[in-house]
Amino acid sequence: MALIMHAERRNRNVYKTLIVAEYVGVEVKICDNFKIGVSNKSPEFLNMNPLGQFPVLETPDGPLFESNAIARYVARRSSLFGSSPIEYGQIEQWIDFSSYSIDANLRRLILLRVGDCPYNKYVEKFLIAEVKRGLCVLNTYLESHTNFLVGDSVTLADIITTCNLQLGFQLLMPKSFTSEYPHVETYFWNMINQPNFSKIIGEFKQLDATLAFPSQKKPEC
């Protein structure tokens, strides 16, 4: 049985697994005609993930959900997990860091900006500070680890961290913002232009200006 991804293809959480698959030579097929709000509400999908969230990977051993877990499954027993126990630990360290300190805060901030959550200036200020703190930590680390997060080649940490950063570069952080973190910028563009990344993501363009609110008047809480 082939590995089948239940999700829309153009999604950073799907990219994680598809990029991994390119590195390890595993075929992952995107299911046909997946529709958000329809396919993920079907009884068949909910049987694989009762939360109704995607992506879900259908495997010969059963379904998997949560994008990082799916990427780990496809990358198992490969060099993407490093060459030693300490490298394995460092890879997991950066996966957790980029997921919780960067991606989670970016997602919450974007939800505020597009109006999916009630606007609260104090929450916005806190989230911006947390994003900046995460980027500052990453920038400092990359100052002396210029090419890859762990070791001398691409690992799962680079794949997941780059996909997590992509959300910000695409929807929230223009050049005027990211230029404060030059080592993060260099790292991101180096990764996004790797052949196995660009094959999956395609041509990528950073947004020109900060994401605007849907209304000029921001409701106060």
What domains are there in the chain, each with its CATH number?
3-75 (3.40.30.10), 80-201 (1.20.1050.10)
Q: Write down the pLDDT at residue 211.
A: 62
Q: Is 125 exposed, middle or buried, given 0-12, 13-18 or 19+ CB atoms closer than 10 A?
A: exposed
Spatial neighbors of 42 by CB under 8 A, at least 6 apart, are none
Q: Write down the pLDDT at residue 218.
A: 52
Contact 199, 21 (CB under 8 A): no
In degrees and rounded to multiples of 5, residue 174 shows phi and psi of -75, 175
Contact 16, 75 (CB under 8 A): no
- Tens-digit pLDDT profile for residues 146-200: 899 999 999 999 999 999 999 899 999 999 999 999 999 999 999 999 999 999 9
- For the segment 49-53, the average pLDDT, to the nearest whole number, is 94
Note the pTM of the prediction, 2 decimals: 0.92
| Whether the predicted pLDDT of 221 surpasses 50 | no
Spatial neighbors of 189 by CB under 8 A, at least 6 apart, are none
Type of residue found at 179: S
- For the segment 52-71, the average pLDDT, to the nearest whole number, is 95
- For the segment 41-56, the average pLDDT, to the nearest whole number, is 94
Q: Write down the pLDDT at residue 219.
A: 47
DSSP string, 83-108: SSHHHHHHHHHHHHHIIIIIIHHHHH
| Whether the predicted pLDDT of 212 surpasses 70 | no
- Tens-digit pLDDT profile for residues 112-154: 877 777 788 899 999 999 999 999 999 999 999 889 999 999 9
| Whether the predicted pLDDT of 32 surpasses 90 | no
Q: Write down the pLDDT at residue 1.
A: 62
Contact 186, 146 (CB under 8 A): yes
